Amino acid sequence: MAAIECSVMPDRHLKPGDVLTWAEVSAVHKTRSGICHRNGLLISLLTDFGRINPCYPDFEGDTPDLIHYTGSGRRGDQKLDPANRALLASIGKPTPVPLFNKLSVNRWHFVGTFQITASSYLRDAQHDRMVWRFTLQRVE
């Protein structure tokens, strides 16, 4: 599995399963929003798999190597905003992005690095709105 360097602890290589503080996560993910992007490029992603924020019902596919990730936009139909455009632009790109899962206050699980492989704009019946759903595939 891919490892990334954490600039807070430069000698530390993150491995899937590592538990981190927010300070360690924010060395990579420079925003509190779930999708970190700059100049149209995707940098990293946050999730809680819908446990804390049910409006973002991310979930695993058939295996933990496949994640279905909900796009940006908390209320109403999601738009093609800069964050969702960065995810769309990443489809098929060889550059993987790290995914961090919030466990509790100041406790984050490094899920691993993923490539965005597909997207769809679909109705979330539970929340009665349209959402962007992105498919993430783990990169080893």
Please identify which residue in the block is written with the tokens 């632009």: 89
Which of 89, 102, 98 lies closest to 44 in space, CA to CA?
A: 98
Triad 39, 4, 10: Cα angle to 5°: 100
Instruction: Give the pLDDT of the chain (140 residues) as one tens digit per residue.
Output: 444 544 434 445 889 999 999 999 999 999 999 999 999 999 999 999 999 988 898 999 999 999 999 999 999 999 999 999 999 999 999 999 999 999 999 999 999 999 999 999 999 998 899 999 999 999 97
Query: Could you tell me which CATH number the domain at 14-138 has?
Result: 2.30.280.10
The pLDDT of residue 85 is 97
Question: Domain segments of the chain: what residues?
Answer: 14-138
pTM for the model stands at: 0.90
